[in-house]
A and B are shown apart, each in its own frame.
Chain A
Amino acid sequence: MSVHPERVLLLWIPDWPALAHRLVSDELDADAPLALTEQQRVVACTPEARGAGVRAGMRERDAVSLCPELAAFPHDHAISQRTFDPVLSAIRQRVPEVEALRPGLCAMRARGPARFYGSEEAAATVVLDAADAATGLTAARAGVADGRFAAEQAARANREAPGVDAPHERIRLVASERTRRFLAPLPVSRAAEPALAETLFGLGIRTLGALAALPESSVRQRFGPAGVAARLRALGTGSAAVEHVRPTAAPRDFAVEAAFEPPLDGADQLAFACVPLAERMLADLAEAGLVCTGLRVEISDDIGVRHERVWDHPHRFTAADAANRVRWQLQALPRAPERGGAGIGALRLVPERTDRAAAHEPGLWNTGPDARVHHHLSRLQSRFGPDGVGTLAIGGGRLLASRQHLVPWNTRGPGHSVAAGSHGPWPGSLPGPAPSRIFSPPLNADLRDATGGNATIDHDDLLVAAPATLEVPPALGASRVAAWSRPWPVRERWWRGSPGRHRLQVALDEGDAWLLLHASGRWFAEGRYD
């Protein structure tokens, strides 16, 4: 399925990653040869390095031996992307709809700009000027042809290539009727994947013209869809999905803020004011096809003190969720008496993490927690505070109280509940059944031997005398001990001078069992087998 492609204006900055790296680092000379490497292979180099024989795909060692003064850096995609963004926004000032293909390469429809600026040449000049002004270099090239593929080939083409108009040193125009003539002599590797290109080359099909001359049915039979796509490109008539320009939306700032005069005092007022604000932000996000999964709430005092916190949401924020987070954050603020009547002067909501809305649609068969469960728990949570409702998660640790923690409802999605390293070896941890009640902090306990003295543990980690009675006020009155284990040591953070601790299991006459902790000569009840 092929269509006649639209005219495309394409801007290409050769060697952009290398140039971008030179732009952001101050200490590099403007004309020093520079190469970017990935896994010991050159991925991009400056024209100076290219002049010395360095090529992309070359091993780093070979490149340095060809050009000893070469400065090689690891390739950082973020840098090339970040530095290309100002170029894109400069072009958007002149031509509204731009598709960013990759750092250093962007495409736009040529028809509108050509009509507006008078001709394709004038439009290309305007775009080139914008790019030059944004980069401070004169490296950019422009190509105008039918479809993205032909336009990219045009931007790379020589002045003297057949079918090419070169009104300016850096502008190449290929008229519609000359597209096939222009594409025909190009090597077949320009249109096909490397493996396919190699096969074609081996079969004697070395130019796009030779590929285009093959009958489509034969290409489909022998090379499948990839071959057909390559042939269409060689003909200058790709499919609309590949050849047409799909403008990328300019990055938007979705943050919303509100200032309050007079300052608000009270969480409910602020939460109430937050709802329309959050609704506006979420509507903007929804328009862009996004949902918010992480929200930064910035609350500013009237005296200029700012409190920031990032809140996560397992699914997506609604306005009510955002209002809850604002309320909790405000409740957690220290209430300093000397602040007097100070209230909240400004509120700012920033979507910290967003995701495509399509990824958050509820499935046909509900996969997340039941919506009703979620609703009821959220309501209880707004009553008891963020830490009032949650699920337990087990982490790593020796003491039982430090092994478990409450994960507040609404904060994290499933799959985060097991902390990393929780399965590690924990010498001194409790084998066998765990006590159903855990005291955090441990209760004071009183373990005495037959003479009424405090039971003690000697340097060999043994009880000096057999324990006779246990008392844990107020949960347990003095009771006779029926059986006990050998004390086992829990030595933690000895490098910080923490005293060694011992654990002891004790079963009482009436059938109860307790887990005791001995530290610095005193006994504590860590848990009870209730």
Chain B
Amino acid sequence: MFEYCSMASASLVRSLKQRIEDMQPVRLDERALPTAPALRPLFPGGALRKGASYSIHGSLHLALACLAEASRAGEWCGIVGCPDIGADAAVQAGVALDRCIIIPDTGNDALGVAGTLSEVLAVLLVEGVSLHDTRTERVAARLRENGSALLHLGDWPRAESELRVTGSRWTGLGHGHGLLHARELTVTSLDRRGPRTHLVRFENGTPAAVHGEPGRVALSAV
């Protein structure tokens, strides 16, 4: 009886919460970081959030584009443990290089460095953290405390959102002619909204609105 009640009330609370969330007007989220309009549908709440961790699979370029808008808005960013980053690609994505700290080699301690940097940098792009590291929880707590966002290229436990590139299509290149020009990524996001599929288009390295439906979710509910 009691069990039934608690289960019923739990589901009731959940459904009420859902309704409140649906009815809530659009408000300024003070924990939102600047995010490119074309990438907003990828994140719950429509923006990268301070203190949250994100896991990105399959595209460094997508991660750079997520970082770029905050960097352009004057925030300090960091790229940790990614020695082969292309400066030209970062600039094309919109990263301000003089406010973007690069730590190419962390000597197997990307996590510790990310924890330290979270105190001063607003957005961190980290590669090469092993999931088995027990300190991820502690670093996540530091991130929440210091209000900086973390984008991890790979798995991250209890990420705010998990972005996985499931398809990629280049245009501009033919059979022996043309040059790479635009790229369309199919990105599956997994977050509290459930799994969704989006189409992200890059033109000359910059995220651009998808034709027809600018900035909207192109496909939904896989």
- CB atoms of B86 and A436 under 8 A apart: yes
Interface residues contributed by chain B, number (CB under 8 Å) = 50
Q: In whole Å, how far is B7's beta carbon from the nearest beta carbon of chain A?
A: 45
Number of inter-chain CB pairs below 8 Å: 145
| Cβ-closest chain B residue relative to A481 | B175
Distance, CA A390 to CA B97, complexed state (A):
10
Binds B, one of A157-165, A238-246, A301-309, A368-376: A368-376
Q: Check A483 against B174 for contact (C-beta < 8 Å).
A: yes
* Range, interface on chain A: 35 or more
Q: Is A432 an interface residue (CB 8 A)?
A: yes
Q: Which of A41-49, A85-93, A504-512 contacts B (4 or more CB under 8 A)?
A: A504-512
Q: Nearest A residue to B206 by beta-carbon distance?
A: A433
> For B100, what are the chain A residues with a Cβ–Cβ distance below 8 Å?
391-392
Contacts of B117 in A (CB 8 A): 376, 380
A residues near B (Cβ < 8 Å) are 369-370, 372-373, 376-377, 379-380, 384, 388-394, 400, 403-404, 406, 409, 414, 417, 430-440, 463, 466, 483-486, 505, 507, 510-513, 527, 529-530
B82-96 toward A: CB 8 Å interface, digit per residue (1/0)?
001111111111000
User: Does chain A have a CB within 8 A of B32?
Assistant: no
Find A393's partner among B97, B121, B179 (CB 8 Å cutoff).
B97
Contact present for B86 and A434 (CB under 8 Å): yes
Q: Are A484 and B101 in contact (CB-based, < 8 A)?
A: no
Once bound together, how far apart are the Cα atoms of A392 and B204, in whole Å? 20
A85 to chain B, nearest CB (A): 41
| A511 to B121 Cα, complex, angstroms | 33
Which residues in chain B, 170-215, are within 8 Å of chain A measured between CB atoms?
170, 172-181, 183, 202, 204-205
Given A433-B92, A485-B176, list of 20 further CB < 8 A pairs?
A370-B76, A380-B103, A384-B103, A391-B100, A392-B97, A406-B102, A433-B180, A433-B202, A434-B92, A436-B59, A436-B60, A436-B93, A437-B60, A438-B84, A439-B84, A440-B84, A466-B175, A485-B173, A513-B173, A530-B60
Contacts of B84 in A (CB 8 A): 437-440
| Residues of chain A within 8 A of B119, CB atoms compared | 372, 376
Contacting pair A393 B105 (CB below 8 A) = no
- B157 on interface, CB distance cutoff 8 Å: no
Q: Which 4 A-B pairs have the closest CB atoms?
A: A511-B168, A434-B88, A404-B87, A483-B173
* Interchain nearest-CB distance for B17 vs A (Å): 38
Which residues in B have their C-beta under 8 angstroms from that of A403?
Answer: 87-88
Chain A residues near B27 (CB, 8 Å)? Answer: none
B94-138 at interface with A (beta carbon < 8 Å): 97-107, 113, 116-117, 119-121
Cross-chain contact B86 with A400 (CB below 8 angstroms): yes
* Residue B70, interface by CB 8 Å: no
30 contacts between A and B (CB under 8 A): A372-B119, A380-B116, A388-B104, A388-B105, A389-B101, A391-B99, A392-B87, A392-B90, A393-B87, A394-B87, A403-B87, A403-B88, A404-B88, A414-B98, A433-B183, A434-B89, A434-B92, A435-B89, A436-B85, A436-B93, A437-B84, A438-B86, A463-B176, A483-B173, A485-B180, A505-B180, A507-B170, A507-B173, A513-B183, A530-B60
